Structure 1
Amino acid sequence: MARRSGRVLRAHPKLLVFPLIGGLSGIAFIVTLFGSLLLTDSVQNPGLVLYGALFVAYLVETFVASFFTAALVAATRTVFHGEEPSVRGSLAAAWQRKLPLFAWSLVAALVGVLIRLIESEDNLVAQVLAGVFAVAWSVMTYFVVPVIVFRNPSVTEMFSESASTFKDTWGESIGAMATIDIFSFLFALVGLGLGVLTFVVTGGTSIQLVATVLIGGSAFVFGLLLGKALSGVAKTALYVYATERTAPEFFDDMNFSALGGNTSASTRGFGNRFNGPGNGRI
Structure 2
Amino acid sequence: MPQDTLNLGLWDRVSRGYKMTKLGMRVIRADPELMIYTLISLILSVGVALLVLSGTLGLSALVPETTDAASNSNEEDAFAVATLTLAFLGYMAISIVTVFWNSAIIASAYERLSSGSNPSFSFGIKKASECLPSIFIWGIISGTVGLFLKILEGISENEKSPIAFFAMFIHFILGAAWWALTFFVVPMMVLDKHGVFDSLQSSPKLFSDTWGENIGATGGVGVIQFLSTLLCISICIPLFFLGDYGVIFGIVLILFLIGLISLFFVTVDSVNRASLYYYAKTGEMPPMAEKMGIVF
| Smaller-chain TM-score bracket | 0.7 to 0.9
Query: Offset at 1:2?
Result: 1.8
- Of residues 123-132 and 29-38 in structure 1, the stretch that sits farther from structure 2 once superposed is 29-38
Deviation readout 1:191-241 (Å, 9 max, x if unpaired): 44445443x133114xx5553343212210111011112111111111001
Tell me if 1:102 matches 2:143.
no
2: distance between equivalents of 1:180 and 1:214?
Answer: 24
Percent of residue pairs bearing the same amino acid type: 22
1:86 to 109, 120, 123: 120
> Which position in structure 2 is the counterpart of 1:61?
94
Query: Offset at 1:110?
Result: 1.9
Counterparts of residues 160-199 of structure 1 (less than 5 Å):
160-198=201-239
For 1:150, what is the secondary structure of its paired residue?
A: helix
Deviation readout 1:74-105 (Å, 9 max, x if unpaired): 11122121211111122111111111111001
Alpha carbons 1:59, 1:105 under 8 Å: kept? yes
Q: 1:185 to 1:114 in 2, by over 3 A?
A: same
> Which position in structure 1 is the counterpart of 2:270?
232
Alpha carbons 1:185, 1:223 under 8 Å: kept? no
Alpha carbons 1:188, 1:221 under 8 Å: kept? no
Alpha carbons 2:185, 2:196 under 8 Å: kept? no
Deviation readout 1:97-154 (Å, 9 max, x if unpaired): 1111110011112222333444566314233223311221122112221111112222
Q: Name the amino acid aligned to 2:125.
A: L
Counterparts of residues 80-159 of structure 1 (less than 5 Å):
80=113, 81-119=115-153, 122=161, 123-124=163-164, 125-159=166-200
2: distance between equivalents of 1:152 and 1:138?
Answer: 21
2:243 to 203, 224, 235: 203
> Which position in structure 1 is the counterpart of 2:49?
30
Alpha carbons 1:139, 1:163 under 8 Å: kept? yes
Alpha carbons 1:195, 1:217 under 8 Å: kept? no
> Which position in structure 2 is the counterpart of 1:19?
38
Alpha carbons 1:5, 1:230 under 8 Å: kept? yes
Q: Name the amino acid aligned to 2:221.
A: I
* Higher relative contact order structure (alpha carbons within 8 Å, sequence separation ≥ 6): 2
> Which position in structure 2 is the counterpart of 1:221?
259
How many residue pairs are counted as aligned between the two chains?
Answer: 251
Alpha carbons 2:152, 2:167 under 8 Å: kept? yes
> Which position in structure 1 is the counterpart of 2:71?
none
Q: Provide structure 2 residue ranges, at least 5 long, that are not aligned to the other structure.
A: 1-19, 62-76, 156-160
2: distance between equivalents of 1:137 and 1:41?
Answer: 36
Q: Name the amino acid aligned to 1:7.
A: R
TM-score (norm 2): 0.75
Q: 1:65 to 1:120 in 2, by over 3 A?
A: closer
Q: 1:50 to 1:136 in 2, by over 3 A?
A: farther
Q: 1:113 to 1:229 in 2, by over 3 A?
A: closer
Q: Name the amino acid aligned to 1:201.
A: F
For 1:182, what is the secondary structure of its paired residue?
A: helix
Q: 1:189 to 1:4 in 2, by over 3 A?
A: same
Alpha carbons 2:187, 2:274 under 8 Å: kept? yes
Q: Provide structure 1 residue ranges, at least 5 long, that are not aligned to the other structure.
A: 256-282
Q: Name the amino acid aligned to 2:92.
A: L
2: distance between equivalents of 1:179 and 1:50?
Answer: 40
Alpha carbons 2:112, 2:288 under 8 Å: kept? no
TM-score (norm 1): 0.78
For 2:286, what is the secondary structure of its paired residue?
A: coil
- Of residues 184-193 and 94-103 in structure 1, the stretch that sits farther from structure 2 once superposed is 184-193
Larger radius of gyration: 2
Superposed CA RMSD in Å reads 2.7
Q: Name the amino acid aligned to 1:144.
A: V
